[in-house]
Amino acid sequence: MGVDVTVKLGPAGAPSWSVVTARLASRGISVPLRMIDDQLAFPDESPPDDWRELRVASPTGMITIRRTAETITLVTWANIDDATRATRDGLAWALGDDPAR
C-alpha cells in the first residue's frame, strides 16, 4: 500500500528541478533521478519544465513525485524506513513555495 504526501503549490507553481536539488543539497540530501514521465533517466539528468511524474532514488527506496497545476504528491510504500522517510520529507520541503519553514 502506498502513502501519499501532498504539497499545495503557491501562485508561482513548482520550483524548477535545479532549485529543488540545490535546496536538498543544502541539507545533504541527494535524489538521483530514475524516471521522467515513464521514461528511464540518467541519475544527473534534469527533467523538462513540464514534467508530470518523476521517480527518484532514496538511500533505501524509490519515491514517486506526481505534479498537477495545484499540487505535488510524493508517493512511497507504507513500510518505508527512516532514511526514505527523511528523503521524502526533504523533498516535500524543497518542493514547497516557502523553504524557510
Note whether 57 and 78 are within 8 A (CB): no
Mapped onto helix, strand or coil, the DSSP state of residue 65 is strand
Domain that holds residue 52: 2-95
Task: List Cα–Cα distances, 74 to 30, 68, in angstroms.
Answer: 16, 12
Give the number of domains in the chain. 1
Residue 69 lies in a domain: yes
Residue 101 lies in a domain: no
Residue 100 lies in a domain: no
Mean pLDDT over 48-75 rounds to 94
Mean pLDDT over 33-61 rounds to 94
Residue 48 lies in a domain: yes
- Which three three-digit cell numbers place residue 98? 516557502
pLDDT at 100 over 60: no
Residue 66 lies in a domain: yes
Residue 29 lies in a domain: yes
How far apart, in Å, do the first and last CA atoms of the chain sit?
Answer: 29
Residue 16 lies in a domain: yes
